[in-house]
Structure 1
Amino acid sequence: MQPPTERTLRRTAFLADTTALILFFTTTGIINERFIAGMTWDQVLHARLLGAVLMIPVARPYGLWRDWLMKRAGPGRASMLLWDSIALVSFQVPIYAAIIAFSGASGGGLVRGTLGAALMMLLLGRPYGAFLNGVRKVFGLPPGGEKPMSLNS
């Protein structure tokens, strides 16, 4: 049996990162939008559908961004937590703010939703990073961030 081609590995990495992002952030997005931003269930549904569509093209770039930033993390838990949180907040909060604004959040709800998402992402940075690495493992890929993820190996 031949080893997978680079194209196959890229496709697998895209699928793994997209699956992880959609599963994890659909759940946390619903909680934030409904109970923190105060959006209606119709607005939440719209935001989650829009979010899922937008997650497809940004999941892999986020995975690469996270892997690149995680190379700066030290071996300790605090360093991993810090860098995973920085990666998630810096990449996803601006995208999330646009999603909920487009879905009907405005004024105070938009501010609360964005701040709520930023706080959630600070807290969820490392859990999501571990989840992402777990999904990558299920897809037969090495974890990113803990050691460089190379599609050529």
Structure 2
Amino acid sequence: MKASTRLPVSTRSYLADTLALILFFTTTGVINERWIAGMTWEQVLHARLIGGALMIPVGRPYGMWRDWVMRHAAPTRLSRLLWDSLALMSFQVPIYAAIIAFSGASGSGLLRGVLGAAAMMLFLGRPYGAFLNAVRRLFGLPPGGQKPMSLDE
């Protein structure tokens, strides 16, 4: 038995969802902020620090949101791609807009950053969903969208 499977499901769910969000979106956030929004490296660092701090309380709620949205997906590749993208865009883009605005993006840079993030979320929805499921497997959890997971499991 892995050490991680000795933890309660709610704790493993929180850790897996939060770790996946931080690892995946720290990388993609830097790409968007620096090369699409045109933010300075100092602004990127500020945005990543704020983003990292916000991902800690948001990781599990997003995982639960994604699980709920993915229950609507048909078992086809296209359906899962569309629903994963919708889940990511609808939850993360508003949060991301606030992060980069607070970090100094304004005007056309803010608009480019939000539009860039929205495009990235559409493109990255399914890859992130697959990454999240892989991290959940490492924590002994089922993939999302198939069996509802809740905080009190």
Aligned partner of 2:14 in structure 1 is 14
Please tell me whether the aligned partners of residues 69 and 83 of structure 1 are also in contact (alpha carbons under 8 angstroms).
Answer: yes
User: Aligned partners of 2:78, 2:28: CA distance in 1, in Å?
Assistant: 23
Q: Deviations over 1:73-130 (max 9, x none)?
A: 0010000000000000000000000000000000000000000000000000000000
Q: Report the TM-score when normalising by structure 1.
A: 0.93
Q: Give the secondary structure class of the aligned counterpart of 1:58.
A: helix
Please tell me whether the aligned partners of residues 101 and 110 of structure 2 are also in contact (alpha carbons under 8 angstroms).
Answer: yes
Please tell me whether the aligned partners of residues 143 and 149 of structure 1 are also in contact (alpha carbons under 8 angstroms).
Answer: no
* Residue type at the aligned position of 1:17: D
Q: Which residues in structure 2 correspond to 1:3-152 (within 5 Å)?
A: 8-145=8-145, 147-150=146-149
Task: State the Cα distance separating 1:8 from its structure 2 match.
Answer: 1.3
Q: Report the TM-score when normalising by structure 2.
A: 0.93
Task: State the Cα distance separating 1:150 from its structure 2 match.
Answer: 3.6
Please tell me whether the aligned partners of residues 81 and 125 of structure 2 are also in contact (alpha carbons under 8 angstroms).
Answer: yes
Please tell me whether the aligned partners of residues 93 and 118 of structure 1 are also in contact (alpha carbons under 8 angstroms).
Answer: yes
User: Aligned partners of 1:70, 1:78: CA distance in 2, in Å?
Assistant: 12
User: Aligned partners of 1:122, 1:94: CA distance in 2, in Å?
Assistant: 14
User: Aligned partners of 1:60, 1:144: CA distance in 2, in Å?
Assistant: 12
Q: Give the secondary structure class of the aligned counterpart of 1:39.
A: coil
Please tell me whether the aligned partners of residues 64 and 149 of structure 2 are also in contact (alpha carbons under 8 angstroms).
Answer: no
Identity between Structure 1 and Structure 2 (%): 71
Q: CA RMSD in A?
A: 1.7
* Residue type at the aligned position of 1:100: I
Please tell me whether the aligned partners of residues 21 and 55 of structure 1 are also in contact (alpha carbons under 8 angstroms).
Answer: yes
User: Aligned partners of 2:20, 2:149: CA distance in 1, in Å?
Assistant: 19
Q: Give the secondary structure class of the aligned counterpart of 1:112.
A: helix
Which ranges of structure 1 fall in alignment gaps of 5 or more residues? none
User: Aligned partners of 1:59, 1:18: CA distance in 2, in Å?
Assistant: 4
Q: Give the secondary structure class of the aligned counterpart of 2:8.
A: helix
Please tell me whether the aligned partners of residues 70 and 84 of structure 2 are also in contact (alpha carbons under 8 angstroms).
Answer: yes
Please tell me whether the aligned partners of residues 67 and 149 of structure 2 are also in contact (alpha carbons under 8 angstroms).
Answer: no
* Residue type at the aligned position of 1:42: E
Which ranges of structure 2 fall in alignment gaps of 5 or more residues? none
